[in-house]
Chain A
Amino acid sequence: MLHLALFSIFGAICVAGAVNVLIQRHPINSALSLIAVLASLAVEYLLLGAEFLAAVQVIVYAGAIMVLFVFTIMLLNAGEEERTRGSRVAIVFGIPGMLVGGILVAWALLRYSGTGPVSVGVLPGPPNTIAQLLFHDFLLPFEVTSLLILIAIMGAVVLARGEETPRPATKEQG
């Protein structure tokens, strides 16, 4: 029961964070909201029994990839820094929301703490099981993903190259 309560609470936080990513005007606020999404997703993984994935989720997504996001936003918005008093959504929904969330978690922990340990799910959790899946059973999708990334890089190069026209051909024809 505690398991279901925790799962629902963090699921709700995750959805609320995702909605907030969309409705925020300032990209930094969206990025910060994304951290909440990724962190609560990590808790969901943990509750499902995928403890290794939960750790990776925190380290790679909430850590490394978020830092990249924030750097990119700061580089793109360079020069237009402004002083704000925080977003209105944060004041209206965020702080009460955090209070409600904290109370809910505390209530769930207190209410159900006597009903036995939190069970974890049946998904493959330990790293050696995941390695077996990734590098054996799902070897082909794993390798094919490298082709997908290669295409994405090519696309970025093609589309970002700018409008330069092939000069020699132009001169000869014109």
Chain B
Amino acid sequence: MSGLPQTADYVRILPELVLSIFGIVVMLLEPLFDERRSQRTLGSIALIGSLVAIMASVFQAQNPGFAFWNMVRVDGFSVFFHVLVTTIAAVVILTSYEYMSVQRIRAGEYYGLILFGTVGMCLMSSAVELVLIFIALEISSISTYILAGFRRREAASSEASLKYFLLGSFATAFFLYGVALMFGATGSTNIDKISPALEQSTVPPLAYLAVALMFVGLGFKVASAPFHIWTPDVYEGAPAPIVGFMSTAPKAAAFAVLLRILFEANAPGRFWLIWFSAVLSMCLGNLGALVQTNVKRLLAYSSIAHAGYLLVAFAAAPEVGVSAAMFYTAAYAAMNVGAFAVISHFANAGEKYVTLDDYAGLGRRSPVLAATLTIFLLSLIGIPATGGFFAKFYVFSAALKADLVGLTIIGVINSAVAAYYYLRIIVVMYMRESREEIPVRGIPLGLGTALVVSLAATIYLGVLPGRVLDYALASANQLMQTPASAAAATVNPGR
């Protein structure tokens, strides 16, 4: 096992390499451009970088296996999350073009940080070594802390960045302590070596504590209750496209880590942890959202609730649960990134127009965008023919298959409650008198493309969910297999 890394090793971290190189190129070119023109050029370079990374992830799927001495495992599961996270990054970069020039924010580091953060999220989904997962988690977290504070002229943005940083570091410390205890309990930090150690007849009590602590750390990253307190303030202060980014991409990656730790490593005592966190997230998220008047805060509470629905899938049987959770992250990413793209367009300079009253009459004055936002909101409710419907459907049917009737009933009641506040936005847009003083601009190309992509994904997942679900199910089965056979088996990438 000694020697230098082989070509196959590098292929298995190819998307990460591509993203890092493009991130560095963006940084190096930034001082060469005039400030006004740098925006579009650097954004385009970052966009090309993320598109190449998507291609690299798909290419990588033909070459599954371990790399760098059991640090990274490329399988259907990791490829799914690689494609998801890099696509989110590409769409967010498209959304940011207009936003950055309207808000007059300097571009250079912004695009670089999005790319570097995506590297961390990609590594999180493919790493099978807790030490590497920790470093990847830090890369993704630290870049989002900084991105949250990019509206330098607003106090709320600095507040968001600082709050996120302090609480986030605290949560990461919990995760690290869990990793240390897991090493103490099993003698390894590699997920594939932990799982046989945990399958023995007596599980060391330390392992329960380790799983609980790691769950605290990751629960913070996915904004599930009771670790959700930071979410509304941070989402309110951070730039709107970045909220779209950090409510989907790091969340998807953290859910990927959680799936790997809980299921691949077969973590003990996970059921009640998940059960309580899921119920709390759904109830607190939806109740909190009912009284919000700021659209960004409203969607922040909604994202807590959606983390709760996702955790319901975690409580279900492994294969079905994992595939339902994978489908849910994809559907949620499509609709939430789209919704925040519309919000970032309506917000205007200084993000002045983000309250519910500002959305009055937009149905008449900006019909296309209002209709698009309506579709995303309907998808967030879970209306049939949108991605949100099948996402919820698969999660709840997975829960029913595992005889979790109570959890399913709580979930369904919660999604009924949630319909109220999403519909309220739609009602305000179409049925209230318009306030003419709010400027309405045309849709620029970048934003238009971003909206078309997220709209297409939302509707595709709502009309033809079969292909994505089959792929998710195949890779979930692969994830459950023993490491030795999984390395040999291949899964056909969905295309």
Question: Which residues of A approach B to under 8 Å, CB–CB?
Answer: 136-141, 144-145, 147-148, 150-152, 154-155, 157-159, 161, 163, 165-166, 168-170, 172-173
Contacts and interface: CB of A to CB of B under 8 A. Distances in A.
Interface stretch (B66-74, B295-303, B356-364, B438-446): B66-74
B104 A140 contact: no
Nearest to B105: A166
A4 B161 CA distance: 44
Contact of A150 (B71, B116, B138): B116
Nearest to A167: B35
Nearest to B27: A154
A144 B146 contact: no
Contacts of B129: 138, 141
Contacts of B68: 139-140
B132 interface: yes
B153 A140 contact: no
Interface of B: 2, 5, 13, 20, 27, 34-36, 67-69, 71-72, 101, 104, 106, 109, 112-113, 116-117, 119-120, 123, 129, 131-132, 135-136, 138-139, 142-143, 145-146, 149-150, 152-153, 161
Contacts of A168: 34-36
Nearest to B143: A151
Contacts of A148: 135, 138-139, 142
Given A140-B71, A166-B104, A170-B104, A155 B139 contact: no
Contacts of B104: 165-166, 169-170, 173
Contacts of A151: 113, 116-117, 139, 142-143, 146
Given A150-B116, A166-B104, A141 B71 contact: yes
Nearest to B129: A141
A168 B68 CA distance: 48
Q: In terms of DSSP, what is the predominant structure of the interface of chain A?
A: helix
Contacts of A159: 146, 149, 161
Nearest to B35: A166
A161 B158 CA distance: 13
A139 B10 CA distance: 12
A138 to B, nearest CB: 7
Contacts of A139: 5, 68-69, 71
- Greatest chain B CB density within 10 A among A140, A159, A165 is at A140
30 contacts: A136-B2, A136-B69, A138-B129, A139-B71, A140-B71, A140-B132, A141-B132, A141-B135, A145-B135, A147-B20, A147-B116, A148-B139, A150-B116, A151-B116, A151-B143, A151-B146, A154-B112, A154-B113, A155-B146, A158-B113, A158-B149, A158-B150, A159-B161, A161-B152, A163-B153, A166-B35, A168-B34, A168-B36, A169-B36, A169-B104
